[in-house]
Every structure is written in structure tokens, then in C-alpha cells.
Amino acid sequence: MKAEIIAVGTEILLGQIVNTNATTLSEELADLGIDVYYHTAVGDNHDRIIGSLEQAQKRSDLIILCGGLGPTEDDLTKQTVADFLGEQLIYDQKALAKVESFFEVSKRKMTENNRQQAHIIEHGQPIYNPVGLACGCLYQDGRQYYLLLPGPPTELKGMLKEEVAPLFSKLFPQEHQLVSRYLHYIGIGESKLDTVLADILHEQTNPTVAPYAKSNEVMLRLTASGASKNECALLLDELEEKIQTLVGEYFYAYGKDATLEEVVVQKLLAERQTVAVIEGASGGECQRRLSRIPNFEAVSAGGMTVPNKLSKECGLGLSSEQIQFDGEISLETTIKMAQAGQRLFGADYTVAITCVAGPESIETQVPGTIILALLTPNGLKTQEMIISRDRTYIKDGAVKYALELLRVNI
């Protein structure tokens, strides 16, 4: 089956937003054994959307349009696809009830245009939205399928997981099962990973290996094809064992969307222990990421952001003379930050993060310098490194390596 993705939205063409939906859809379809052959982006214009549909109709079996399902005047996708297929739009009563209930519960007056979010193409199948209000639709026209999904990424992801993936598994059953496994690594770059795994990457047939570079980490997707899920699992186990023998020291989690902060919180919860985070130039980013994980409150002892000398003195009670002597960006000062945080919050683990995010050097430390200190029930752990990249990448690295230092010591 050949699939094509058409992203609808003038804001994509203007560069105001990044078309992350194309990535999400392609990954999900690959997991379902459906090949994506084309990506298209088109503005909020009836005639140009029709032109994209005419082109897609000639070459694709599954045509997915995302965006343009909302209540505003430029949300044209449903009406345009209906016109192209020679169909009418009708209200799906379940979707309409959800829209009306939303406004009733929130005590807001519903304008008439909000009702159009409950439209589907007549003779089509509603695809319900577990996150938002805009209802999607699947329409079959002979050998071709048209799938309409909303543009907001959280809504699209929710519909893919809860509605589309189960439906497509039934509609488009594969002769062979296709199973993917995702492995996350930190502390090894993509080029080194590629070099270390060169023989495996060169010889791959089934299972296959696909490396993905992410900010300050890498991910491997292993995909196996077999007569059953059990057969696929055995193939993946065999391949993973070879890979982990070579790079297992850098591995931290399974799962497509796994994060270090999630792993850290889960380990702390399991051990019934707490953490405090003292941040320098990372600006509270480590605490923010941890706070997004459910039940973080149960393991958080507190935290503090101390980006300069004055805040280190006033907030942590560090001596001005000692900071001057040791250097504001130094291992000695970072250790004292952790010790002060330990006294203030009494956590089982206290991590202090110092870095020079750039673009200028601070004291004798060059941009990209990262210094970490971690107090644990078993003593002090420290780490120093230099990441020669842009400011955003450096700060991300400071946070991720602090979380990794935590993870391996819990």
C-alpha cells in the first residue's frame, strides 16, 4: 500500500510552524507496515488543496490530510475533500454532543462555527478525537482511502494511538507481523554509534536497524518481520543482544517516547527516595522537565535556580570570598552548591548543575563547559565535560547529563 501525507496550513509554508505531524504519521504508518511515498504541504486554499488531491489520487492508495478541521473560516479541509469526492458534509451526533457539552461545562457561549468541528463526510467513518473537539473522518472511494485528521500535534497523536492504529490494523492486515523496538542511548554520538555498529548496519536484513539523532542522545529503532509477534520478539532479542554487547553502557531506556526524566522519576518512586535540583545556567530547565512527569511531587524535595554569583550567595548562603577564590564556574563551587542544597532541602539525592551556555566565556571556562555534582546516600559523584555547540544544545546537554548522572546512581 502506498500512502501520501498532505499537510494543510499556510502557516507551514510561511515557516511559522514546523510540520512535525508528517514525522509522527510516517513513524506510525511504518510501524503498521504501510509505506509513505510522498509528503506534501499546501496552504489553506480550496483550489490548491483540490490540486494536491488530484495528484495524490493518481499515485497513492491511502491519502492522509492533517490540518484544517477547526471552526475558523480558513479551516477548509473537510469541505474541500467532500467537494472533491462529490459528497456532502453531515453532523456526527456523538461528535456534536461532545462539542456542545464542552461549551456547556465551561460555561461559555458556543458560536455557530464551532459546530463544524463535528462534521464528517457523508458515507464516511468518524474518527473521534480523544484530546480535542475536531472530529476526523475515514472515507473509502473504491481502492483508495482518505483519512482526515486535525492539525494540533497532541490531538493528532491521540487519534493515531487510540483510533487510527487499531482501525488500520484491522483494515490493512499484514501477511507478516511487523514489530519495532526502540532503544535510547546517551553519552555516545550518532557518528560513533554508526562506526561501532558498522557491521550490523551493513549486514542488516531482518531485523533492520535505523539510527535517529536527537539532541544530546541517539535512538535506535529495531524492526523485525515475522509470522507472529513471538517470532519477531525472538529476532529482536537476538539483534539487541549483539548491539548491547557493543554499546550497552550508553543505554538508558526502551520506548519510542522514553525520556531520562521519566526514567529518573520512576526509579525514585520505586526506591521511595527524593531529589533536589540546584541549577546554574540551565535556568530551571531540569526541574521543569522533571515536573512534567506524573507523581514527581512525591519525589521532589525542592529546587533552586542560581544563575549568578549574587543568587548563589543569597539563595544558597555561599561565601562571596569562597566563590571568588574557587571561581563561579568550577567544580569546587558546584560541589558547594550541592552541599548547600542538601542542607536546605534534605533530599536523598541533590544534584547541582553549572554550565557556560555561551556565547562568551566565563572566567577561564569556555562555552560548552558543563560541571555536575551529585550528593547521594553513598557519597559524592562529579562529572565535567565540554559540548561545543549552540547555547540551546549546551543547556539541553547540561540537563540530560545531570539526569543521567542521577539515573545511574539511584
Write the CATH number for 125: 3.40.980.10
Tell me the pLDDT band of 396, cut-offs 50, 70 and 90. Answer: very high
Per-residue buried b or exposed e for 99-132, using 16+ beta carbons within 10 Å of the residue's own CB: beeeeeeeeeeeeeebebbbbbbeebbbbebeeb
pLDDT in tens, 134-174: 999 999 999 999 999 999 999 999 999 999 999 999 999 88
CA angle 79, 76, 34 (to 5 degrees): 80
Q: Looking at the structure, do residues 126 and 272 belong to the same domain, yes or no?
A: no
Q: Looking at the structure, do residues 112 and 42 belong to the same domain, yes or no?
A: yes
Host domain of residue 371: 260-409
Q: Does position 388 have pLDDT exceeding 90, yes or no?
A: no
Q: Looking at the structure, do residues 11 and 115 belong to the same domain, yes or no?
A: yes
Q: Looking at the structure, do residues 244 and 373 belong to the same domain, yes or no?
A: no
pLDDT in tens, 185-218: 999 999 999 999 999 999 999 999 999 999 999 9
For the beta sheet containing 369-376, the strands, ordered from the edge strand earlier in sequence to the opposite edge, are: 300-305, 275-279, 349-355, 369-376, 379-386
pLDDT at 9: 95
pLDDT in tens, 48-72: 999 999 999 999 999 999 999 999 9
Q: Looking at the structure, do residues 250 and 264 belong to the same domain, yes or no?
A: no
pLDDT at 177: 83
pLDDT at 33: 85
Report the CATH number that the domain containing residue 389 is assigned in CATH. 3.90.950.20
Q: Looking at the structure, do residues 368 and 331 belong to the same domain, yes or no?
A: yes
Summary mean pLDDT of the chain: 95
What does the radius of gyration of the chain's CA atoms come to, in whole angstroms? 26
Last residue of a domain, one of 140, 171, 202: 171
**Can you say how many angstroms the Cα of residue 11 is from the centroid of all Cα atoms in its chain?**
21
Last residue of a domain, one of 171, 192, 225: 171
